[in-house]
Structures are given as C-alpha cells and as structure tokens.
Amino acid sequence: MPFTLKREWTLTHDAFDKLLAQFDDDVERAAEGYELTRSRLIKFFECRSCNLSRELADEVMNRVARRVDEGEEIARQSLSNYFYSVARYVLQEHRRGPERRASSLETLTPAEHPSENPAVIEEDMLARRRRERRLECLESCFEKLPRETRDMIVSYYEEEEGARVAGRKLLAENLGISLSNLRMRAHRIRERLDKCVSDCLDPDAGG
C-alpha cells in the first residue's frame, strides 16, 4: 500500500477542507466526524502500547489527507476502514523504527515476566523517566508560545467531548474566523508543539 508521505508534502488549508468533506457535507457534522476518528485512532495506538499515540494518529490523518488531496476517491461508507488500514500500516512502520517499544507487560506469560525481574523494574523506571521528561518538554514548549496562542489552544481543547463543538464554534466567533480556519490553526499549533517536544527530547536530531 503506497501510503508513505514524501518529505516535501505539507497539509494545506485546501487539503484539510477536502479531508473534512470526506466525513459529511455538513461542516459541523464533518468536524465531529474528524474529531471522533482522531480519538479512535489514538485509542487504536494506545491499545497497542504505542508511546506516541497522538503523533501516530495525526500521521494517519495527514496521510489520508494527502491521498484525498491527490484525487483518490474514498467511499464515505468505507472511510472508517480506510483510516484503519492506513493506521495498521503506520503501526508496522512504527514498530520497525528505532522507537519500537517492548511487548506490553500484560501480554507476557509469568515465565517471561517474573514479578521482581530486575530488567522489568529498570524498564519501568526508564519509561517513567521518559514520560516525565516528555511532560517537562511539553510544558516548556507550551510556555514558549505567545500568550494569545496558549489561550486559544487551551480553549480549543478544554470542553468535554459532548460540548466541544459548541465551544469551538463560540471560540471561532470570538476570534472572528471560520470553524475551518480555527481547526487548521489548532492543527498548526499542535504540529508546532510536537516538533518542539521532539527537538527537546532529542536536540541532536535537528542537526
């Protein structure tokens, strides 16, 4: 399945709108479908012990957006299956990559996972340190954002799932922009934070 993104491709406003249109002709319902699909993809990766579930979910969304932008036709009734087929491909790539995680402890047999295995204890400690370091980086990157950007992204995600659409509609009205522009702006901020966190975790990776 040729889903691999070329490095030079970036998500444009037009491509994002085309992706939303795949979910529904109504803008509000399309937004709900987008958010629901992204949430389900995050859970898909979390259930498979991926430590970058949100980043991988966004990668899936971007890959599908690119395919749609390039003219691929996806039947609306098959859209969910299409997303999951891409997600499985992304998962395979992730597991082949340098950040591949060890098998989840719950999947190991007692013989493979003795309760006081020093290797397991050390791995747990390392995993906890990685989570703590990632949180530190996220907080640092968040503080580097302009005040108005921080306020906007907090407002964008602060509502409970049931009230989120109404909250975002009100936020867009207060900012004087369309919902589509608001979603694109939030997506850009999320990408900016993800890159900042990645650079913080591995400062040598950026060259």
* Ramachandran bin of 118, using left for φ above 0, alpha for ψ from -120 to 50, beta for the remaining angles: alpha
Question: Where do the structural domains in the chain lie, given as residue ranges?
Answer: 9-99, 118-199
Q: Which one-letter DSSP state was computed for residue 29?
A: H
Cα dist from 204 to 33, 98, 131, 192, whole Å: 38, 15, 19, 18
Q: How far apart are CA 155 and CA 158, in angstroms?
A: 5
Q: pLDDT (tens digit, 9 = 90+) per residue, 167-185?
A: 888 889 999 999 889 989 9
If pLDDT is split at 50, 70 and 90, which confidence band does 124 have?
Answer: low
Comparing 110 with 10, which gets the higher pLDDT? 10
Res. 99: pLDDT tops 60: no
Per-residue pLDDT band for 123 (boundaries 50, 70, 90) equals low
Cβ neighbours around 166 below 10 Å, total: 11
This prediction's pTM: 0.52
Tens of pLDDT, residues 25-34: 888 888 888 9
Q: How confident is the model at residue 8 (pLDDT cuts 50, 70, 90)?
A: low
Residue-level pLDDT at 65: 92
- Per-residue model confidence as pLDDT tens digits over 102-117: 444 344 444 444 444 4
Using alpha carbons, select from 175, 173, 171 the residue that is nearest to residue 155.
171
DSSP state of 6: P
pLDDT in tens, 56-98: 999 999 999 999 998 988 988 889 889 999 999 898 888 876 5
